[in-house]
Amino acid sequence: MHPIFLALALLALFGVHLARVPARGGLAGVSAAFLTGLVATALLLRLALGGLGVGRTTDFDRVVNAAVAAAQDEDTPLILFAGASYSRNAIDDARLTRQLKARGHPHRVINLSLEAASMMERAAHLEQFMDRSGRVPDIVFIEVARDFDLRVAQFFGNSKFSVRGIEQFGPKVSFWTARGLLGGACQGMTGCVKDGAFLAAHSGLNLLNVGLAARGERAEAAGRLDGYDPQTEPREEIDLMDRAIGLSARPEARERSAPDWARAYRLAWRTRLEERGVRTVGYYFPPVIDPARRAYVSGLCDAELDGSACFAPQDAALLRALDAEVWFDAAHLLDPGAAVYTSWLAARLAESGLLSPGPAGQDGGTGPP
């Protein structure tokens, strides 16, 4: 028998011992004994496996493993992009690293992105990266997206009741998700009720360690997965006229600040990163065809995030270059489109002053309008 499962069996027996029902306990006694044994066993299980570094490993652990390996290759300043699928299909970190070096900047770029990743999930795995690699990025760019700000439980639209879903909804993520739901960051009353029910279910499964023993392993043993996922074939046909109109439109940004929960979380995350030694925290959003999504980020760059490095994809030359067969779907780029965006990012970074140490790099600036 595996030593871990032997230890778990002993813990279960101990939990049963704690939960012995009095001879005449009645329904109240039986319920209290059951709950006591359940809580005690769950707590002991979490402590035992946590002490061994065992958890529910997910694709994000594999992305972190690849990032840790990349960070060990050379002792150079790190630029880390923390995003969801927009970034996973748009930022070729190896290509961006080469282009920055060609411009005389020694920085190593790391794309720490995964589809449907909320800010809270990204923050947790960025902490994991720093802890395991022993490296603190010089610059961290945080992806800002309207759909994630306006629906705090966006993850439930993609992979609810997955191992990754159960793993992430611990106390901190559950708290921030509940705060967002109470503030209306969901899709109408029906959507709020559904997301609230999913939150309660996922938090309960996490609290009770469901799947932890069966699927648990050390994160380092989970394998590697690159943060950049190049796509070579489109998954949907895009109308040429819709693409041209969407990329040429420049609507006025209506939103000047995000919902309360998103503003508060971004501020808390930024503060945490600066406390850990990150020199500059910036924000960005990769190109999409929908002009309203681009305008949302542009409005935040001009108001809420004013004074921070903030790259909204509203540059006319960039969008003209993307009016081609470079789209995986209307919101994600194929590899040729990622090459265009990566080159644009390299130029913006080189021009921004962020890559030079000292006050200029510290203060940063906003990206092009």
Quick one: pLDDT at residue 360?
38
Nearest to 109 by CA among 132, 85, 93: 93
Quick one: pLDDT at residue 359?
44
Type of residue at 15: G
- At a CB cut-off of 8 Å and minimum separation 6, what does 196 contact? 178, 181
Bridge partner residues of 56 (DSSP): 216
Quick one: pLDDT at residue 338?
98
Torsion of CA 218, 224, 230, 234, to 10 degrees: -50
Q: Is the pTM of this model over 0.75?
A: yes
- Contact at 8 Å (CB) between 322 and 295? no
CA distance 233 to 285: 22
CA distance 211 to 312: 40
Residue found under tokens 């109240």: 28
Token representation of residue 142: 């945080």
Token representation of residue 262: 């998103």
Q: In CATH, which superfamily holds the domain spanning 58-151+222-363?
A: SGNH hydrolase (3.40.50.1110)
Task: Flag residues of the chain having pLDDT under 50.
Answer: 1-2, 359-369
Quick one: pLDDT at residue 11?
60
CA distance 160 to 157: 7
Residue found under tokens 């265009």: 340
CA distance 141 to 40: 41
Helices (H), the chain: 3-18, 26-51, 59-72, 85-88, 93-102, 119-133, 146-150, 163-168, 171-182, 188-207, 212-215, 240-248, 260-275, 291-302, 316-321, 335-352, 359-363
Strand pairing of 280-284 and 310-311? parallel
User: Domains of the chain: which residue ranges?
Assistant: 3-51, 58-151+222-363
The DSSP call for residue 19 is T
CA distance 309 to 352: 8
Token representation of residue 90: 């748009």
Quick one: pLDDT at residue 42?
73
